[in-house]
Structure 1
Amino acid sequence: METTGVPGDSLFFHADFRRLWSGDAAAQLGTFVGYTAVPLLAATTLAATPFQMGLLTAAETVAFLLIGLPAGVWVDRMRRRPLMLAADLVRGVLLLSVPVAWWAGVLTLPQLLVVALLTGIATVFFDVAYQSYLPSLVGREHLVEGNTKLQAVQSTSQVAGPSLAGWLVQAAGAANTVLLTGLGYLTSALCLWRIRAPEPAPERPERARMLPQIGEGLRFVFTDRPLRAIVACTSTSNLFNGAFTAVEVLFLTRTVGLAPGAVGMMLAAGGAGGVLGALCSGAIIRRIGQIRAIWLVPLLTWPAHLLVPLGAPGWRIALTVTGLAIGGFGIIVYNVSQVSYRQAICPDRLLGRINASVRFVVWGTLPLGGLVGGALGELIGLRGAVWVALAGEAAGALWVVFSPLRRMRTLPEPAAEKAAA
């Protein structure tokens, strides 16, 4: 008989986690197909300029700046699974509108920007609810395993998605390829709907006001010194990663001279490193410790991204592949370590607001980075923009290297008393 518990030590036996995991696999594959197909659609079919590509990157993530903080309060007031299901349905319908508009001959860059913006709003609610839902579904003692398995899915999709998207764009066109992204979100919604574990009703304090509740989440994040360093590291790296994302496809197609299929393979290189990172993260964390992995792994791996702008036609393309793979490895191990740290120290009643506060800061820099990357591509050229972006991303690791995390050896207990204060 199927069980919803965790007999033994593996989440493989947790039926509802398998449903969450399956839905995540479908959504992540669709997402990474879209991450390749949508920029290729804008760059090749709609002839977008570097600055317009920056606007597209900004539109995808600006929702974290616009509604990121109040979203955390709303998530803490609601059951998380129904909210995630609704967000998946909204994202699926929005992405399906792109191939429909293409078939009708009315697809434009403004529509693509609007779809990216509205999808980003739904993603805010999904991501905040998602990270807040996992501890209640599997228990805090299984957070590292749960996050490792979810990161493995993401990393595998990061390999398969761009590769599949690149060849599909060549064979069927970029707009038709976006169809897979919409179907991925609808499949995710179906898997979430099948989860059977009852979700406890959230606490709803009487006469709770929005601003004090937002402030409570922000205070927790910024008064915990190790967590503050993690947030600073991630937000700095995301700022420059947003700049890199804005010009990445243009750099690979116009400077390096790759076809769409080859671009997909190049983007998959980072995912291949991420898959290895997900497979190794549990062993690395057990070997060197979860706290040490947060600062040591970025220090050793993120500078490899500086190989990427050395790429050129011929053998030098291997430098770009190597840089993306090593950097992708380090990013995944860092993410497993730091997300598990955050989930472990946060009290349940604040999880939504704390996750929203963190996402507001660390994802809120992505749209700014997108605009910066687009502007740099216009001013100093695509290769120069890539150099600046990836140097800044690697430098973000210094926040955790020079932080209290270097002196810590054990994971703190959940800080319920700090939250109450």
Structure 2
Amino acid sequence: MRLASFHRLWLANGISLFGDQVSLIALPLVAVVTLQASPAEVGLLTAVAGVPLLLFGLPTGAWVDRTRRRRLLIAADLTRAATLAVIPIAFATGTISLEILLGVAFVVASMSVVFNIAISAVLPSLVPAERLVAANARLTQTRAVMQLAGPGLGGLVVQVVTAPFALLVDAVSYVGSALLLRRLPDAPIAGRDRSIRAGLALVWREPLLRASALSAGTYSFFNAAILALQVLYLTRQLHLTPAQLGLVLAAAGPGGLLGAALAVRVSGRLGLGPTMIAGLAIAGLGNLALPLAPIAVILAATFVNGAAQPLYNISQSSLRQMLVPSSLQGRVTATMTVIAGGAVPLGALVGGQAAELVGVRPTLFVAAIGTVASCLWAWGSPIRRLRNGVE
């Protein structure tokens, strides 16, 4: 029964991920084509999607731990569906505006924070501990497939029905996801402590979680600096054409699919902890090719980087789900997510300022070394000796 419930969860998540790919194209196109938005306004639309994690991430974790998670997942899906439907209605009635677009983007991103934290928290109740790595790998593979195939399909949908009405496809995908989630088990959460502080305290107190959070935060910080500068570097200093740039950036997608497929086998052979360390180290080494190597090597290294990141992410998620009691899953997941996600804007800002002072290539080199060094937190902790479970 538990595995059947996981398959239902996996299918629901896959359906909504496909819809997300449509919105990824349609939402900015509504701004650019329908509203004739300026570059600054388009940038604001993009930035709005990152704000809810920082504002609501930790409170959402506490909410997930005090609420029946199935109901929360369904509520998040239905809220996203209803909110997205506002745009085609506003377009059809001639009332569409940038303010409506920003409000929709903010609400949808907020509900996505709720959904993503809740889905990670509910997974250990659906899958035996020994199958968690495989379950997380399945979810990661699905995301990678959708990221590869989704943009093309999303573009086709937008082409056929126009951007405002294409958002109805995403809305329908959320309704489909909610219908599938209705039959998930929905046991009440045990435990009396509902404070946000309990999740923070457990992450800091538990050496495995603390080292994992520090590794993830360090990698996210330095990797954000790389992501902020890579398009500038590849186009202005290496003089890549748009087609070549697209090829380099797309190489991480097939790599991610391969890494997710290999995660179970690698963790079974090396152990959970060594796989986490190897994933971060190899991903960081892939980043080193960007400022140092010719384009062919950069292309291969981007693929390797994409393949290595799931080794860490899948193993880290499985470790957390094995280690943390059900009553704290939401808050610990939120804490880890906020640490990694909160480092992104800071890393991008520091990377941009450093490039102004010392140049783009030196900044990329230092940031790449930082991503390699991020594995040292895990290496210096009990994670290094962790095999296939938590004692």
Pairwise TM-score range, normalised by the shorter structure: 0.7 to 0.9
Residue 278 of structure 1: CA displacement? 1.1
Alignment of 1:51-130 (within 5 A): 52=41, 54-104=43-93, 106-130=95-119
Equivalence for 2:381: 404
Contact 1:162 1:267 in 2 (8 A): no
Residue 110 of structure 1: CA displacement? 3.8
Equivalence for 1:11: none
Distance 1:246 1:26, change over 3 A: farther
Residue 265 of structure 1: CA displacement? 7.2
Residue 65 of structure 1: CA displacement? 1.8
Alignment of 1:138-149 (within 5 A): 138-149=127-138
Distance 2:153 2:84 in 1: 17
Alignment pair present for 1:137 and 2:126: yes
- Aligned to 2:332, which of 354, 364, 377? 354
Contact 1:33 1:165 in 2 (8 A): yes
Contact 1:53 1:247 in 2 (8 A): no
Alignment pair present for 1:342 and 2:324: no
Aligned residues: 385
- Structure 2: tracts of 5 or more residues without a match: none
Equivalence for 1:160: 149
Distance 1:303 1:48, change over 3 A: farther
Distance 1:301 1:360, change over 3 A: closer
Equivalence for 2:212: 230
What is the TM-score of this pair, normalised by structure 1? 0.77
- Aligned to 1:20, which of 6, 9, 31? 9
Distance 1:221 1:302, change over 3 A: same
Q: Structure 1 counterpart of 2:332, which letter? A: I
Equivalence for 1:31: 20
Contact 1:69 1:353 in 2 (8 A): yes
Q: Structure 1 counterpart of 2:318, which letter? A: S
Q: Structure 2 counterpart of 1:75, which letter? A: V
Equivalence for 1:413: 390
Distance 1:251 1:184, change over 3 A: farther
Cα-Cα RMSD: 3.8
Alignment pair present for 1:200 and 2:187: yes
Distance 1:352 1:191 in 2: 22
Residue 144 of structure 1: CA displacement? 1.0
- Aligned to 1:329, which of 286, 292, 307? 307
- Identity, in percent, stands at 35
Distance 2:283 2:231 in 1: 23
Residue 358 of structure 1: CA displacement? 1.4
Contact 1:73 1:214 in 2 (8 A): yes
Distance 1:52 1:284, change over 3 A: farther
Equivalence for 2:281: 299
Moved more, 390-399 or 178-187: 390-399
Equivalence for 1:281: 263
Distance 2:254 2:119 in 1: 24
Q: Structure 2 counterpart of 1:113, which letter? A: L
Q: Deviations over 1:252-276 (max 9, x none)?
A: 99985648xx988776532221111
Distance 1:132 1:257 in 2: 43
Q: Structure 2 counterpart of 1:235, which letter? A: G
Q: Deviations over 1:112-141 (max 9, x none)?
A: 332222122212221221111010112222
Residue 199 of structure 1: CA displacement? 2.5
Contact 1:58 1:371 in 2 (8 A): no
Q: Deviations over 1:310-349 (max 9, x none)?
A: 99xxx95x66654443222111121111110111111222
Alignment of 1:310-321 (within 5 A): 316=295, 321=299
